[in-house]
Amino acid sequence: MSYAVIRTGGKQFVVEKGSTIRIPSIEAEAGKSIELDALLTAGDGAKADAPVVGAAKVSATVVDHGRGAKIVVFKKKRRKHYKRKQGHRQGYTTITIDSIG
C-alpha cells in the first residue's frame, strides 16, 4: 500500500489514498481541494528527503470543519484559596486524501 507522511498544524500524519483524517484547523472552505507537502513517501519505491521530498505532493479534499470535545483546565493551589477553571475546545478540519504523488 502506498502511503505518505505529511506535516500540518505542527503535527505529522501518516496518510493513504482514500483515508479520512482530522487535522488542526486550516483556512479552506468545505469541498475545496488542497495540496500538502510530503515529508516521506513509500510504496513502489520509498523516498525520503530533508525537509520534504522534492516534488511529492499530497492532494486532499476538505470535508468539513468542527470542534473537538471540551477539556477542562483546572488550576488549584492548596491552602491559598486559589482556583481557576477554564474550558477549551480545539478546532479541527476533516480531509479526505485524493492522491499521493
Residue 42 resides in a domain = yes
57 domain residue, yes or no: yes
How far from chain centre, in Å, is Cα 87?
A: 22
Cell output for 25: 484547523
In this structure, how many other beta carbons lie within 10 angstroms of the beta carbon of residue 84? 9
Q: Where are the beta strands (DSSP E) in the chain?
A: 3-8, 11-16, 20-24, 33-42, 47-48, 57-67, 71-77, 82-88, 91-100
C-alpha 63/C-alpha 46 separation (Å) is 29
Global pTM value: 0.80
Render pLDDT for 47-91 as a digit per residue (tens, 0 to 9): 665 555 666 889 999 999 999 999 999 999 999 999 999 999 999
Residue 53 lies in a domain: yes
Q: What's the number of domains the chain is made of?
A: 1
